[in-house]
Amino acid sequence: MIKRYITIMLWIALLSVLLLGVAVCAEAHGVTRPLGDADLDGNVTILDATRIQRVLAELDEMTPAVRAAADADRDGEMTVMDATRIQRYLSELCNLDGSTPFDPHRVVETVTPIETSTLPTGLSEPSENPPASETVLSTQAPSVQPTVQRFTLSTPHITRVEGSNNGAVIVWNAVKGAEKYRVFVKLNSKWQKIGDTSAAKMTYSGAKQGTVYTYTVRCVSADGSNFLSDYDAKGFSASILETPVISSVTSLDRKITIRWNAVPGAAKYRVFYQVNGSWKKLGDTASTSFTYTHSDSDARERYTVRCMNAAATYFTSGYSVSGYVFTFSIPKEPAYIGNSSTHKFHYPSCNDVKKMNLENIVRLYSRNEAVSNGYTPCGHCNP
Ligand SMILES: [Zn+2]
- Looking at the fold, whether 188 and 294 belong to one and the same domain comes out as no
The predicted model gives 151-157 an average pLDDT of 94
For residue 335, report the distance from its CA to the centre of ligand 1, in Å: 12
Same domain, 64 and 7: yes
For residue 209, the domain's CATH number is 2.60.40.10
Q: Is residue 149 part of a domain?
A: no
Provide the number of structural domains found in the chain. 4
Determine the distance separating the centroid of ligand 1 and the alpha carbon of 361, expressed in angstroms. Answer: 13
Highest averaged pLDDT of the listed ranges 17-21, 128-132, 248-252? 248-252
Show which of 206, 238, 270 is a domain's final residue: 238
**Does residue 132 share a domain with residue 9?**
yes
**Cα 89 to averaged position of ligand 1 atoms, centre (Å):** 97
Same domain, 215 and 271: no
State which residues form the domain around 312. 246-329
* Sheet order of strands, 167-172 included: 158-164, 167-172, 201-204
**What's the angle, vertex CA 124, arms to CA 121 and CA 130, rounded to 5?**
150
- Please give the average per-residue pLDDT across 154-160, as a whole number: 97
Render pLDDT for 165-221 as a digit per residue (tens, 0 to 9): 999 999 999 999 999 999 999 999 999 999 999 999 999 999 999 999 999 999 999
Average pLDDT over residues 152-172: 96
Work out the number of other CB atoms within 10 angstroms of the CB of residue 120: 23
State the distance from the centre of ligand 1 to the C-alpha of 376, rounded, in angstroms: 10
344 alpha carbon to ligand 1 midpoint, in Å? Answer: 8
Q: Specify the 3-state DSSP secondary structure of 2.
A: helix
| Ligand 1 geometric centre to CA of 350 (Å) | 5
Asked whether the predicted pLDDT for residue 145 surpasses 70, the reply is no
Q: Which residues have CB atoms below 5 A from the ion given as ligand 1?
A: 346, 350, 352, 378, 380-381
Residue 57 falls within a domain, yes or no? Answer: yes
Distance 261 CA to ligand 1 centre (A): 37
Instruction: Tell me: do 199 and 288 sit in the same domain.
Output: no
Residue 153 lies in a domain: no
Whether residue 85 sits in one domain with residue 28 = yes
Indicate whether 225 and 107 sit together in one domain: no
pTM of the entire predicted model: 0.53
Same domain, 13 and 48: yes
Say if residue 55 is in the same domain as residue 131: yes
Distance of alpha carbon 84 from alpha carbon 106, whole angstroms:
19
pLDDT of residue 9: 56
* Ligand 1 center from residue 348 Cα (angstroms): 8
Can you name the residues that pair with 259 across neighbouring β-strands? 248, 289
In a domain, 148, yes or no: no
Query: Are 65 and 87 members of one domain?
Result: yes
Ligand 1 centroid – CA 380 distance (Å) = 5
